[in-house]
Amino acid sequence: MSTISRPQNPEENLRVKSVFDDIRATRGSDFINNLWYYLAFDPELLENTWRDVKEVMAKPSHLDAVTKELIYAAVSIANSCEYCIHSHTAAARAQGMTDKQYAEFLSIVSLAGRTNNLLNGIKVPVDKEFDHEKIIEK
Amino acid sequence: MSTISRPQNPEENLRVKSVFDDIRATRGSDFINNLWYYLAFDPELLENTWRDVKEVMAKPSHLDAVTKELIYAAVSIANSCEYCIHSHTAAARAQGMTDKQYAEFLSIVSLAGRTNNLLNGIKVPVDKEFDHEKIIEK
Amino acid sequence: MSTISRPQNPEENLRVKSVFDDIRATRGSDFINNLWYYLAFDPELLENTWRDVKEVMAKPSHLDAVTKELIYAAVSIANSCEYCIHSHTAAARAQGMTDKQYAEFLSIVSLAGRTNNLLNGIKVPVDKEFDHEKIIEK
Amino acid sequence: MSTISRPQNPEENLRVKSVFDDIRATRGSDFINNLWYYLAFDPELLENTWRDVKEVMAKPSHLDAVTKELIYAAVSIANSCEYCIHSHTAAARAQGMTDKQYAEFLSIVSLAGRTNNLLNGIKVPVDKEFDHEKIIEK
Amino acid sequence: MSTISRPQNPEENLRVKSVFDDIRATRGSDFINNLWYYLAFDPELLENTWRDVKEVMAKPSHLDAVTKELIYAAVSIANSCEYCIHSHTAAARAQGMTDKQYAEFLSIVSLAGRTNNLLNGIKVPVDKEFDHEKIIEK
Amino acid sequence: MSTISRPQNPEENLRVKSVFDDIRATRGSDFINNLWYYLAFDPELLENTWRDVKEVMAKPSHLDAVTKELIYAAVSIANSCEYCIHSHTAAARAQGMTDKQYAEFLSIVSLAGRTNNLLNGIKVPVDKEFDHEKIIEK
């Protein structure tokens, strides 16, 4: 169950069609995933969301493509976003992630969940040595 | 303020000393960060936590060192663990992360926060195309 | 799957019947949603929960009804409570929320997810200018 | 402690100056809060973040200004973003929020935290009656 | 920095005084912690919050006092509520929690953070054997 | 839908068989729940996860068995981990938790969600009286 209806023929709206065309061209694929169909209920929200996703995920980058998808998936797991977990895990695989890398990703994400709770529970004070300004002064 | 006291001379306990020695040897540094000092209040908790951190973060790996720290930091941001954010951002820098990479990391983490809320708000159904079993059958 | 069974004839219990009657009277509708049926397994928990919901959501108010439902839905999205997202989005519509308002709500909720992660990632210090006591002194 | 340094004279960079000028003009105030100073370490991240905040929060709107700030603050509370809580609570006051409205806001946000946990604990199934498609068919 | 001011002489308001008197009587102590001072800015919010805390935490109970505080602290850690973590950890100690129990509590809370992320990452399907209705049918 | 496939005959791998045998022996039951089947895709991840779960949950303990499961379930509710909520609520029942205790558990977990949001919203300063070091000095 979704809180809005999937529009029937969203591309009859020219703003929607323009975004969908750009998604297809950017990805080199005809497949448009559900996110964009549902967002088509409001062309402005669709346009802004796609613009930001394209800007961050599809532009020339200082991080490799698998790393970017894994960072995205890590946040999505911590936020319990089922759709995002599936879409970005699938994207990481499509970018070449191996099973070994995925197992290692899961071990890091779960270790983080463990120490996050441990440190938030004790409220360990942050070491001065982690201070960026101190580090760059050296 | 922390929920436990930082032990005064924790290495008088031999189990603690053994863990601290292994931390120094593994990291090639004399610096022991606060996390381990506080955990020394319970040697068993200290041993288990260090064993798991070492196992995941210090072993030969299928992901590069910066990527691992960024995945860790991403989860820590989503969980609001201040200590973990500082320690793993500092570790990523120590592993060679550039300012450009950090800016890109922040843009991915914040984009994920954005679309996590958007998709959790609408409850967009997950596309069948993301199903791993379907993908490997092809 | 739920962790408790939906009671068969909960209104045979007079404490439950009394709460259900008050829900119907307060809302002017015969429809009792699942939340209350499940809570009926423990009449005290049912009574306390309904009392608090009625007190906050059904009393004369300083905020309009759509705003109240949207604040409720916003927290529920951030907490990934599927039931709460659906019930309070439906309630906002029942109170007159338009599609344009809903799209704007989604854009605010997702922008908040974005900047929450950005600021928690950087740990930007809070401006003194935001301090309520300083503001009222002026 | 922050993970990046606050740039000293950020407006010497023309892209940064242009964003700061637009913030001042949009808000009709010379005050630039810390968020923007810190983001100035990466002009692209600064530009994109401001563009999105301006687009959502400063444009003509279908929700009133206090409501928008309260929705923003509600998500920020659920995500424990201290900076965001302070900035958007202060903004709501600046837009005219009264103490009575703030108390009511707090009561809704905390009631949501309560029932979110209750329903996530029991995993109450979502009522068919909340389905948007069923509602619009009637 | 807080979003509201701590009222100067809150007990001049009789509704506030009545709640404070009940807190002192219930706890058998003159100490009133900050939470109640700050909530005194709105007597209704103060009354409702205290009523619910008293009802749940101070009534005759089916769980022992340390267990109740630990469950409270566990949720507070997962939600990063610094105040709540400190108040309920202190309360657990006041109820007799030992250092050994606290270390074990921390190991459970952090293990939960670990497997929560692991299972949310993989989206392991829930076993039918966990279904309460099936269990009670046997 | 899961992000990995459930291995067909996982016990053909001797490392997997060894873990499964230990799970059966430790629990005195032939039932192996889905978590372990899915983790079998990576024997190392399976081994480490089981080792930690066994260490924390199955060892001689300073907390009783129901309390341990309830602390686990409390964190899982706050993190919206559906699988973990079901498995640890079922485990608490198997350890003897009554319906009355479960209702009380739910009332504590939901009260915590309420006051977590309230205190995170106001940012009430932590009382010095909660400081462990001050308490032990007395």
Q: Residue E120 is nearest to which of A77, A112, A118, comparing CB atoms? A: A77
Q: Residue B123 is nearest to which of C85, C120, C121, comparing CB atoms? A: C85
Is residue B4 within 8 A of residue A122, CB to CB? The reply is yes
Domain finish residue from E59, E83, E98: E59
User: Is residue B102 assigned to a domain?
Assistant: yes
Window 54-83 of C: residues touching E by CB (8 A cutoff) are 55
D135 touches chain A (CB under 8 A): no
Closest residue in D to E80 (Cα) is: D80
Q: Residue B84 is nearest to which of A82, A116, A123, comparing CB atoms? A: A116
Q: Which residues of A touch C117 (CB under 8 A)?
A: 75
Q: Convert F15-39 to b/e letters by CB count within 10 Å (16 or more is b).
A: ebeebbeebeeeeeeeebbbbbbbb
Q: Domain check: are B79 and B39 in the same one? A: no
Residue A39: φ, ψ to 5° = -65, -20
ipTM of the complex in this document: 0.94
D137 touches chain A (CB under 8 A): no
**Rounded to whole angstroms, what are the CA distances from B22 to A124, B11, B16?**
21, 12, 10
Interface touch E3/C132, C-beta < 8 Å: yes
Q: How far is C100 from chain D (nearest CA, A)?
A: 7
Interface touch A73/E112, C-beta < 8 Å: no
Chains near D (3 or more Cβ pairs under 8 Å): A, B, C, E, F
Confidence of residue C133 (pLDDT cuts 50, 70, 90): confident
Q: How far is C24 from chain F (nearest CA, A)?
A: 24
**What's the rounded Cα separation, in Å, for the pair C7 and D51?**
52
User: Is residue A138 assigned to a domain?
Assistant: no
Find, among F31, B81, C105, A46, the residue nearest to E113 by Cα. B81
Sequence-ordered list of residues with C-beta below 8 angstroms from that of D6, at least 6 positions apart, any chain: D34, D37, D38
**What's the rounded Cα separation, in Å, for the pair D61 and D54?**
12
Q: How far is C121 from chain F (nearest CA, A)?
A: 18
Interface touch E81/F116, C-beta < 8 Å: yes
Is residue B31 within 8 A of residue A123, CB to CB? The reply is no
Reported pTM: 0.96
Q: Domain check: are A42 and A68 in the same one? A: no
**What's the rounded Cα separation, in Å, for the pair F41 and D58?**
50
Q: Domain check: are D90 and D113 in the same one? A: yes
User: Is residue A77 assigned to a domain?
Assistant: yes
Domain finish residue from E9, E40, E59: E59
Measure CA of the first residue to CA of the last residue in chain B; give whole Å: 56
Is residue B103 within 8 A of residue D45, CB to CB? The reply is yes
User: Is residue E131 assigned to a domain?
Assistant: no
Interface touch D86/E3, C-beta < 8 Å: yes
Find, among D69, D111, D90, D45, the residue nearest to C54 by Cα. D111
**What's the rounded Cα separation, in Å, for the pair F85 and D114?**
17
Interface touch D84/C112, C-beta < 8 Å: yes
CA-based torsion, F77, F83, F87, F89: positive or negative: positive
User: Is residue F85 assigned to a domain?
Assistant: yes
Instruction: Please compute the mean of the pLDDT values over residues A91-119 and round it to a whole number.
Output: 97
Q: Domain check: are D71 and D53 in the same one? A: no
Find, among C81, C109, C132, the residue nearest to D102 by Cα. C132
Q: Which residues of C touch E131 (CB under 8 A)?
A: 1
User: Is residue E72 assigned to a domain?
Assistant: yes
**Which of D44, D111, D114, D133 has the most C C-beta neighbours within 10 Å, making it the best mutation to test the interface with C?**
D111
pLDDT in the model for residue D135? 59
CA F101, distance to chain mean position in Å, is 18
Interface touch E3/D107, C-beta < 8 Å: no
Taking residue C63's Cβ as centre, other Cβ atoms within 10 Å add up to 19
Interface touch D77/F121, C-beta < 8 Å: yes
**Which of E83, E98, E102 has the most B C-beta neighbours within 10 Å, making it the best mutation to test the interface with B?**
E102
Closest residue in A to B53 (Cα) is: A111
C121 touches chain A (CB under 8 A): no
- DSSP letter (8 states) at residue B126: P
Q: How far is A137 from chain D (nearest CA, A)?
A: 11
Q: Domain check: are F38 and F54 in the same one? A: yes
Q: What is the pLDDT of residues C26-60, one digit of tens each?
A: 999 999 999 999 999 999 999 999 999 999 998 88
Q: Domain check: are D52 and D101 in the same one? A: no
User: Is residue D112 assigned to a domain?
Assistant: yes
Q: Which residues of F touch C81 (CB under 8 A)?
A: 80
pLDDT in the model for residue F21? 98
**What's the rounded Cα separation, in Å, for the pair A113 and B77?**
11
The alpha carbon torsion through D56, D62, D67, D71 (nearest 10 deg) reads: -50
Q: Domain check: are E53 and E90 in the same one? A: no
F121 touches chain D (CB under 8 A): yes
pLDDT in the model for residue C121? 97
Confidence of residue C115 (pLDDT cuts 50, 70, 90): very high
**CATH number, domain containing residue C1:** 1.20.1290.10
Find, among B63, B62, F93, F34, the residue nearest to E118 by Cα. F34
Q: Domain check: are D69 and D48 in the same one? A: no
Instruction: Please compute the mean of the pLDDT values over residues C104-108 and round it to a whole number.
Output: 98
pLDDT in the model for residue D136? 55
D95 touches chain C (CB under 8 A): no
Of the two residues C133 and D34, the one the predictor is more confident about is D34
Confidence of residue D132 (pLDDT cuts 50, 70, 90): confident
- DSSP letter (8 states) at residue C56: H
Residue A62: φ, ψ to 5° = -95, 0
pLDDT in the model for residue A60? 86
Q: Residue B132 is nearest to which of F5, F52, F136, comparing CB atoms? A: F5
Interface touch A136/D2, C-beta < 8 Å: no
**What's the rounded Cα separation, in Å, for the pair C55 and C42?**
20
**Which of E1, E2, E5, E42 has the most D C-beta neighbours within 10 Å, making it the best mutation to test the interface with D?**
E42
A138 touches chain B (CB under 8 A): no
Q: What is the pLDDT of residues E31-41, one digit of tens each?
A: 999 999 999 99
Q: Please give the residue range of the domain that contains residue F71.
A: 62-122
CA B109, distance to chain mean position in Å, is 15
Residue by residue, what is the 3-state secondary structure of C105-136? HHHHHHHHHHHHHHHHHHCCCCCHHHCHHHHH
Q: Domain check: are D66 and D47 in the same one? A: no
Closest residue in F to E136 (Cα) is: F93
**What's the rounded Cα separation, in Å, for the pair E86 and F72?**
19
Residue D125: φ, ψ to 5° = -70, 145
E87 touches chain B (CB under 8 A): no
Confidence of residue E60 (pLDDT cuts 50, 70, 90): confident
Q: Which amino acid type is present at position B17?
A: K
Q: How far is D15 from chain C (nearest CA, A)?
A: 20
**What's the rounded Cα separation, in Å, for the pair E104 and E20?**
35
Instruction: Please compute the mean of the pLDDT values over residues C54-72 and round it to a whole number.
Output: 95
**What's the rounded Cα separation, in Å, for the pair D70 and F10?**
51
Q: Which residues of D touch F123 (CB under 8 A)?
A: 82, 85-86
D49 touches chain B (CB under 8 A): yes
A116 touches chain C (CB under 8 A): no
Confidence of residue F59 (pLDDT cuts 50, 70, 90): confident
Statement: residue C131 has pLDDT above 70: yes
Q: Which residue has the tokens 């509370």?
A: D77
Instruction: Please compute the mean of the pLDDT values over residues B30-50 and round it to a whole number.
Output: 97
User: Is residue F17 assigned to a domain?
Assistant: yes
- DSSP letter (8 states) at residue C5: P
Interface touch D86/C130, C-beta < 8 Å: yes
Q: Residue A104 is nearest to which of B62, B123, B127, comparing CB atoms? A: B62
pLDDT in the model for residue F60? 86
Statement: residue B114 has pLDDT above 60: yes
Is residue D136 within 8 A of residue D104, CB to CB? The reply is no
Q: Domain check: are E74 and E117 in the same one? A: yes
Phi-psi region of D126 (alpha: psi -120 to 50; beta: other; left: phi over 0): beta
The alpha carbon torsion through F95, F101, F103, F109 (nearest 10 deg) reads: -80
E92 touches chain A (CB under 8 A): no
Find, among F74, E66, A123, E94, the residue nearest to B39 by Cα. A123
Q: Which residue has the tokens 């739920």?
A: C2
- DSSP letter (8 states) at residue F7: P
- DSSP letter (8 states) at residue E11: G
Q: Domain check: are F49 and F75 in the same one? A: no
Confidence of residue B133 (pLDDT cuts 50, 70, 90): confident
Reading the block at residue D59, the tokens are 């444009």
**Which of C45, C124, C129, C138 has the most D C-beta neighbours within 10 Å, making it the best mutation to test the interface with D?**
C124
Q: What is the pLDDT of residues B52-97, one digit of tens each?
A: 999 999 888 999 999 999 999 999 999 999 999 999 999 999 999 9
pLDDT in the model for residue E135? 59
Interface touch C112/D79, C-beta < 8 Å: yes
**What's the rounded Cα separation, in Å, for the pair A73 and A81?**
9
Chains near F (3 or more Cβ pairs under 8 Å): A, B, C, D, E
Q: Domain check: are E28 and E47 in the same one? A: yes
Q: What is the pLDDT of residues F112-138, one digit of tens each?
A: 999 999 999 999 999 999 997 765 554
**Rounded to whole angstroms, what are the CA distances from F100 to B65, F96, F125?**
50, 11, 35
Number of separate domains in chain A: 2
Q: Where are the alpha helices (DSSP H) in chain D?
A: 14-27, 34-39, 43-57, 65-78, 82-94, 99-122, 132-137
Q: How far is B5 from chain F (nearest CA, A)?
A: 6
F120 touches chain B (CB under 8 A): no
